Structure 1
Amino acid sequence: MVVYFSVAVKLAIIFSGLFLWVGMFTGVWKYWQIRKSSQARAHYYVDIAHRSSLLYAPASLILAVLAAFSVWSELWNLVFVLLNVFFFSASILSYVLHGFLKDTYNQFKQPHRLGKRILPKSVMTFCMCLLVLSELFATGMLILGAGLYLF
């Protein structure tokens, strides 16, 4: 039996595996920091990078299933999946950067730091609004598309 998967489904599955793999690598990094720390703790953002990667892996599989059952065109399903995996990836990358730079324990604390640089509040606000709106819209559309197919 040959099963056809759209590009959206394939990408969501691949990103699920990549997020799992990043979660494993950041887990090694977390363990290494715990071993070196006198308090037996990793940097806050190393821990967040590890956990978020492991949580985005199954989330991406859910997106794959939703896209597989969605009534929307392949192009729209691809857009909805890409919006999610882009922001999942950007989030993980920001956590990894903060963990590597050890520049903050709260990326939302003002002033917003990235290494030695200060980010304008407007940049952080814009990025977070874009992330929230994109992920909620894209996931909502996949849920609606799958719901229309299933019911």
Structure 2
Amino acid sequence: MGCSIGLDAKITLLAAGVIFLLALGLGVWKYRQIMTSDEHRAHPYVDIAHRAALLYAFATLLIAVFVHLSAWPVWVNLLAAMVVVFFFVAAIAGYMFHGARRDTVNQFEHPTRALELAMVLLIIGEIGGFSVIFAGFIVGQLL
């Protein structure tokens, strides 16, 4: 017997589970690199991808709670949550890309205009998306 939660919270919880499963898989990749490298270390971006995925999975779980308690309509919560999740997953994918290519240990060492734009969009998307959900929580639970 489960509790009743909205579609917006269910989809956000699903995203948290998928990201957590990705984190577990990235842990296998990291472990494999640790065991096969001469220094017994994974590439820095494989390590970053693994850690980021773990953190983003739990951040997405936290977002799901705020979504569940938000006063906004399902479509507003879902849109805001998925914007945040999109940027979480995009960041993980970027780290995986650099880890697989082994092309850098610091993607900001020689930043491109595309990277600068991506970072601005990420900042706006993550902070903006969560702010919408958090405002819905405040309206729904505190006012």
TM-score by length of 2: 0.94
Secondary structure at the counterpart of residue 5 of structure 2: coil
Distance 1:52 1:129 in 2: 19
Map 1:110-129 to 2 at 5 A.
110=110, 112=111, 121-129=112-120
Could you list the per-position Cα deviations for residues 31-60 of structure 1 after superposition, in whole angstroms to 9, with x for gaps in the alignment? Answer: 110111111100000000100110011111
Partners of 2:15 and 2:2 in 1: CA distance? 22
Give the superposed CA RMSD. 1.3
Structure 2 gaps, min length 5: none
1:75-90 equivalence runs, <5 A: 75-90=75-90
May I ask how many residue pairs the two structures share in their alignment? 142
User: Unpaired segments of 5 or more residues in structure 1?
Assistant: 113-120
**CA–CA separation in structure 2 for the residues paired with 1:8 and 1:124:** 31
Specify the alignment match of 2:38 in structure 1. 38
Greater RCO (CA < 8 Å, at least 6 residues apart): 2
Where 1:20 maps in the other structure, the secondary structure is helix
For residues 101 and 135 of structure 2, the distance between their equivalents in structure 1, rounded to whole angstroms, comes to 40
- Note the C-alpha offset of 1:5: 2.6
Equivalent runs, 1:91-110 vs 2, <5 Å: 91-110=91-110
Q: Percent identity?
A: 37
Q: Which runs of 4+ in 1 moved over 3 A?
A: 1-4
